[in-house]
Structure formats: structure tokens, C-alpha cells
Structure 1
């Protein structure tokens, strides 16, 4: 069994440790190795892999035996090395060391003098994957029970020994860790018990790289056609497609416009989205009839280019309302949804890189009166919800409970009436960088933003007035244009000048820098600007 198999098997565990400490934040342990290849024996090893290797012995029901006879040694994860099934053998195996390989790894005496470890200044310096050592015994440190209060003790991986009624060397103790082993036992050290140990660290252990944040979902935003992580501005002028590459840096906005090709006059309902999950946004559109077409982006850092369109078939014209592309089932792919008469239909995105396909299903009736769809994952549970108005001033949200096999939504929750005061609704955007999409709009001359205070399964907002002077701004677009983690406001001045207001918002206040002009002559695009929402 390899580390990679462990990831998808029993070691991909997250054990929430229910300890009942009043007012305390209790540690949550993830004993899964990283997705990269396993370490080499004696080489560098990450802390997560150390814990995964130790958990392997717990899951494999390794029984304590101190004899170190050859027929008692136990395999490591890869099966390439054997270690003694005792306290020091467990640490030797978890650290993937080669010292004393002929006798099943280091003993506790060997660890005392071993040059491959270092002593730490304090027990408080311990990190998961380090160890604690005393004369005749050692344990692998898994983590503090309560990270903010080390006095509550620690969880460990250990083999401690026990009675041996028949004298065969196999003692009644099995490898254990932060979660109960097959005998219901955990590796557990009190703070007072820890005082007998010295903390040690393997010199070849390394911290895991910080997890990468998942890319922000593309909802009613500009498209990133070249996959550089920046949203580009694309539009149709006459018969031609133009794309302005985003060359901005944090706090500085700039673009470089290029002509791509002709032949786009007959296309409508444009949308931009990475439909095949290759990291580059594609162009979707309809031919003013019922055929849905996709142009796959083959762009790179030097030039924008698209493959010849692929047809996703006809009969799409029966959708009189097309929703923004959104990932309703949380599989990381944008699905295509729309209203046909009174019914909601969703076409599950079954595409793979370079190959486009969908599977359409009817979801439910009762959608005829819903307007102005602004779909996104509003409660942060990883699935896009349906957000719309009831034809008047009530804002409603249908939370997605969809799965890999079925699209479904909870009954709508009302966010209250009086939303019609916004005569211009901006795309949903995360202005304060908290990872949640906020609702904003223009009421007469004023900009209002409703901060998204939702939690998974619960929708809520808190509306505040921002400033006046927005009456003449039109065609709003949503995007973090300068890549600083906060969505900016992008709009036209009622004519052909494109303006950007950089967000300087934080968790307490919404604010924006004075607009920067990206020049004039943008009016050539008319209303055919490509975003993830359909544009005629």
C-alpha cells in the first residue's frame, strides 16, 4: 500500500475530537498524507506524511512486541522496510528513517545519541510529527488537545506495552493515535505526564506547504481567457471579437486590446466560463436560434485564440430565461441552467478538458414569475444557489442541495421586500475579500452594498449606504481586476469611457478608491460584453 492509496482510503480521516472543554477550541486532526509522492527513506518528509504513516500502523492493528526478532518486524506503508512493533520502532517507521535498518529501526537508547534528531527548547515548541523521549519510552506527538491551552495535554501515536499472559512476546497493546483504535484506545498524554519527556524533532522533517485556496468561482464576472488568473475584458464590436488582456497589478489597472476574429455578429446570449475545466475560460453563445455553441480557449500568455466552435445541439431556444453559469452540484464544473416556460432545467456539465458535453434534466415547475437571476454560492457550502426576484421587490434564494446524481433545491428563503429600490443591480461580488459574494446596486444616485453574512444553510445580509454620484454609471461588471483578492466595481459612464473603482474595503467598512479611467471608445462593444451571465 502506498501513501497515495492511503489518501483515498482509511487515512483520509478528519476526527473532530469531542472533549467538552468549556469555552475551548478543540483540535481537529487530519491524518492524510499530501497528494505528492511519498518521501524516500532517510530523506525529507512532511509532517502530514509522518502522521499518515503512523496512522497506517493504527489501522493495520499493529501489536506490541519488544523482541525485535525478524519474524516480528512490521512493514511500513510501502512494504519496503520493516520496523520493530514497539514505541521507538513506530517513531522510526513514521519518520521513514534508515538508521539501524537491520534491527527494525532505532531503539530509545539509539534515539538518545542519534545525530538525526535535535532537542527542542520547550514542550510548547512541539509540532505534529515531532516526538517526546524519555529513558525507555517515546511517543510521536500528534497535536495538542486544545491548541490554545497546552495544559489540557496532547494526543500522540504510541505503542506502550501491556501484559503478555502466554509469554510469547506479543503484549496486549496495539498502535493507537488521536482517534480510537480497534480496541477503543487512544494515544493520550496529560500535561503532567509530558513533564517526564524531552521534546525532539527529526532534522529531515519539513512543514507542509500552505494549502492553495481554490480559485474563485466565475459568476457574472469577466472571463480569464488565457488562464493567468486575471479577468480580461472581451466584447463584440460590429462583427468582430476583441479582447483586452488584463495587465493590471495590485492597485494599478491596465489592459492591452487586440482584435481576435470576425464572424460574431450572428451570435447572441454570450457567456464566458471555463466549461471544460482546463483553467481557461471559453466562450459560449447561441446563434439567435436554438443551437448552443462553445469556442474552446487555446489562448496563452502571448496570444488569444479559440478553436472552431463545437455545437452542443439544438432545441436550446426553448429556454426563455438563461441563468448565469454556475456550479450547482459542487463538482467544480459550471452547469448550464434556464427557465423553459414555467420549468427549471439544468444541464449538468459532464465535460473534460477539450471535450464538451452536458446532460439535461428537468428540475421543477413554478419559476415563471422569477426574474433577474444572480446565481452564486451565497452561503459558502461549495454549491451555487439560485437567487432571483419574484417579479417585484422581494429577493428570494433557493439553496442548492444537489448531489452528483440529482439536482435539488430547498424551498426559497425570502431576504425581504423593498429590493426594488435598486434600479440598477450590480453583479454579485466579494468586495471585502471574505470569500462571500455581496449584493450591491444603485438606488437613484446612491451605491448600496449588502454584506453577505450568511453561513452554510442560513442566508443573511446587512445593507449599508456607500456614496452618491453613481446615476450616470451603466453596464456594471464584476471582477477582482487587479488581483488583490477584492472585487472592484467596473462600469461605463453612460457613454464609451470604462472606469474602475478599486475596492479598499475590509471586514468592517466598504470603501473604494476614486475611479481610474481605462480610456474611451469602449462604447463600440454596445451591450455585447462577455461575462458569465448571458449577454444579447
Structure 2
């Protein structure tokens, strides 16, 4: 049940490891975020290793697959994205020796005289149980994740004592994605903020959040839970939060979500699946959810925002690193357009958007080291030629936005270590100073939802 908050737990950390399994026809791993001989994450090493398993690459020292020799050390060289196929005796030249107890996914066990294999991770470190990938011999094609025990007398046919543990010199740990629970704070129609936020979702694994308000005043809060999918929690028009969230998408690989409500009472939720693009799912006015439809296949998108205009059109903004922000429209009749680049700043790291009652649309972008920039689309459909800097705080990490019925607009910015700051644009177009509405420095994501009665809800994840 919801409870009043006076303090919050620090954000938990979860390691998101993507394990794509597709391979390219030419024999190269599909996942190639790294460059040859460059830094590579542990999850990418395992993804590259899995690509040979999926392709059933046979052991054959005389042939190459994707440019790498088809044996144990060639397999490790491929997984580490080296420029050439090393051998068991030379793999230590690009590695540092570790103890067995320090092994991490992507490291190797190397018997320099004869064999090597990739360590995939502990399944029970106390007992010594782990999994690994290997290219063993002509009778045993590339396999894994295979179970073994570090205390066994032999592994892969060789005495365990013959192996040393090594760590590739360019391997790096995967980024840690913060996670936490969801809290909601209300601003009344008269402008007063609640003294405390209320916890509306106690699932501590939430990594991203979005919201949308239906014309009848109900609020939908969408949360992303890695490995589980997207969950929807509803606040009724009378102010009661549902006791439980409903899973609306079971894709555990989703990393971002956005939502927008149309004037006809339908709700659209967009999800981002790394490598697969953007997918849109609809909730009808009767409350039933549709299956999702892919609306953008760009595998490089990293963030989303969306807004619905009063004429029934829907705008989806996608952030592509090193490229900028792209806007895609769904007409009131339901047809999707191609995307249009509206901002070519390749350094943007986060985005939000909101539509005003007059039919104009605002897109707010976070530029690390610079602050928050606002770009406007007029009610006639013309995008402003340049963005306006509305916040000079270069530490802003994420942002959300919403419009109120009186034509004003609120932009809420998350500053790590400082909390959430609310900035208002009046109906006349003047921007206010920012006000600290939540001082919890652990907040990492936020949503803003304006209601028909003029009140507003700002949600946070911490």
C-alpha cells in the first residue's frame, strides 16, 4: 500500500547484461559495440562467445570463421575482439594473471601448453560452481554456457591445476544501471507542493519510469523492470492509487519507456528494445491492451519521449547518440510517418516532451556540461530553428515535462546529489527560476503529469 515518505533508500545497482544471440551471415558476431583491440565490456565478450555457439562453429584449426581460427585460442581471440588469433602461449601477453577467486565473466582459464576457455560467471561461488564457453576439439563444437566446478580435479580434460586465470587488459566492467522504488509528489492547482512524497511502487528493481494523464483525470505510471518487462500502475480520477501494477509487456530486455494519452481516451506506450528499436502498444478506452508494433527499427536509439496534440496526432521523439533527436508522427487516423531530425546535437543524453493546450509542442534536451535546452514546434507544425537554453546546470542527468490546462508548462530536472528541480514556463512564454522540490540526491529518473484540474504529479525513482 502507498506510504508517506520522509526518507528514501539509496538506489540499488543492477547489472544489465544483454545476451543477444543472433549472428551475421558472414560469420561475424552481431554485437560489435567495441573496436578491434579496443575496450570491450564483459557482456559483449559473452555475447560474442554465444554467437559461435548459435552458429555451431566446428573445431578446425585449419579454417577460419569470421576471420578467426576455429580452435580454443582463436575462439577466445574472437570473443575478446582481438585483431588476430593468438595461441594459448601468447594470450597472456595481452592479459594479467588473476587468482581463481577473482574470476569475472569474460576472463579466461589458460593452460598455456594446450587449452583455454572463457569463464562465463559463478553460479555458486561458495561451492566453486561456474559456467564457461569453449571450443574444445573436433568432436565437441563450440559450446556453452557449460557447467563446471573450480574444485574439480580436471576441466575440459586437463588437470585444473594446469590452468591459470587471466584477464584481458582491455576488458571493462559493464555500466551499472541504478534501480529503486517509485515515489509521487503532488502540486495542487493553487501551486502548493506536498511536504512529502508517497511511495506508489515498492519494487526496488525499477530502472526507468514514464507517465501519461487521460482526459478523465486518471494517471498511468509505467515502470521498466529489467528481466521482467513494463508494468502499469493507475491513479484514479478520484485520487486512489491501484494497490498493484499490471504487467503490459513481458519483454525483459526493454530499457526505456514513454507514454502519451490521446484526446479520445486511448493511451500509447512506447518501449525501447536495444538492437530492435521502438515499439508502440495501445490501451483502448475500454482498458484493453493491444500487442506491440515496431514503429522504428533503428538499433542505436537510447532514449524516448512522446506527446499527444489536441488534434489527435501523436509525436514520438527518439534520441540517437552522435546524431541527435528524431521526431516521428502518428496521425489522428493512425498512420505513422517517417522520422524527421529536429535537433542535430549529438551530445544530448536525455529528452522529454509535452504538448500545450494551444497545439504547440516542446521538446527538452539534456546536454551534459551545458544544461537543458527547449525546442518548440508551433501549432502550425513548424519547428524552431534553434533551441533555447532554459537551465545552465551542466550536471542535470534526466528531465521530464508536462503542460497544465492554463497553458503553463513545467520542466523537472534531476541533479544527482541534489534532487529534483522544477522550472515553469508561463502561458505568456516566460521561464521562471528553478525550485528544489525534492532534495533526495539518490533520485535518478522522474516523470511529470499534469491533470485536468490544474494539479500536477511529479514522480521519482530512487
Q: Based on CA coordinates, which of the two structures has the bigger radius of gyration?
A: 1
TM-score, normalisation: structure 2: 0.49
Higher helix share: 1
Higher strand share: 2
